[in-house]
């Protein structure tokens, strides 16, 4: 995702987080996600009203920050994706399926983020260790998640189950 022109200071100020530009950490990620979810509501009014919803970053920022509206999963996670990247996190957006009270397997209609955070290394050379990946979701119908650890042996091409 291209973050040209994204103002991370405006975003962080809006959600009420002060961020030290140090190495990305799980603690900072959790604080950012919780603040994001407390300030920017889940809202699917435009979906219900069958309005066209732009996924362009400027439009998402305008709606969720400038106009102080909420959004649905794609809007929230687009905004969070760009914010986290601008703060030095490694982020991979992924399509997901929601299987809540369903017996059939629907097409992917949700988006989540896989965020990799470098592990502290015991090496004396100062190099960070291999990244630990976390499944992050700022907008699962108002519920959010962070810290769902995916083991290093897992692949991004397989299914993950998150229980709430």
- pLDDT tens string 53-77: 999 999 999 999 999 999 988 999 9
Cβ pair 151, 131 in contact under 8 A: no
Residue 29: CATH number of its domain: 3.30.2140.20
Residue 88 placed within a domain: yes
Catalytic residues: 73, 110, 137
Its pTM stands at 0.79
The CA distances from residue 149 to 9, 62, 82, in Å, are 28, 32, 21
**pLDDT value at position 126?**
45
Mean pLDDT of 10-26: 88
Residue 1 placed within a domain: no
Mean pLDDT of 7-34: 89
Domain count, the chain: 1
- Which of 1-15, 84-98, 142-156 has the lowest average pLDDT? 142-156
Nearest Cα to Cα of residue 134 among 119, 117, 158: 117
Residue 62 placed within a domain: yes
Considering the chain, what percentage of its residues have pLDDT values greater than 70? 75
* pLDDT reading at 164 higher than 80: no
Rounded Cα distance between 99 and 106, Å, is 8
Domain of 47? 8-150
Residue 129: pLDDT band by 50, 70, 90 thresholds?
A: low
Residue 50 placed within a domain: yes
Q: Averaging pLDDT over each range in 24-28, 141-145, 148-152, which range is the top one? A: 24-28
Rounded Cα distance between 82 and 95, Å, is 16
* pLDDT reading at 121 higher than 50: no
Residue 161 placed within a domain: no
Q: How many CA atoms lie within 13 A of 30 on its CB side?
A: 6
Residue 119 CB neighbours (<10 A): 11
Residue 131 placed within a domain: yes
Residue 164 placed within a domain: no
Residue 156 placed within a domain: no
Arithmetic mean of pLDDT over the chain:
80
Mean pLDDT of 120-147: 63
């Amino acid at each position: 995702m291209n973050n040209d022109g994204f103002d991370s200071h405006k975003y962080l100020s809006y959600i009420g987080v002060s961020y030290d530009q140090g190495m990305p950490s799980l603690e900072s990620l959790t604080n950012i996600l919780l603040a994001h979810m407390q300030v920017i509501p889940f809202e699917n009014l435009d979906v219900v009203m069958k309005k066209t919803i732009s996924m362009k970053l400027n439009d998402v920022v305008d709606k969720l920050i400038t106009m102080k509206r909420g959004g649905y999963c794609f809007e929230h996670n687009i905004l969070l994706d760009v914010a986290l990247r601008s703060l030095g996190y490694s982020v991979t957006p992924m399509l997901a399926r929601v299987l809540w009270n369903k017996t059939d397997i629907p097409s992917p209609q949700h988006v989540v983020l896989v965020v990799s955070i470098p592990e502290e290394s015991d090496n004396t050379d100062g190099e960070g260790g291999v990244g630990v990946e976390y499944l992050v979701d700022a907008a699962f119908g108002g519920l959010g998640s962070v810290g769902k650890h995916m083991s290093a042996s897992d692949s991004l091409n397989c299914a993950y189950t998150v229980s709430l």
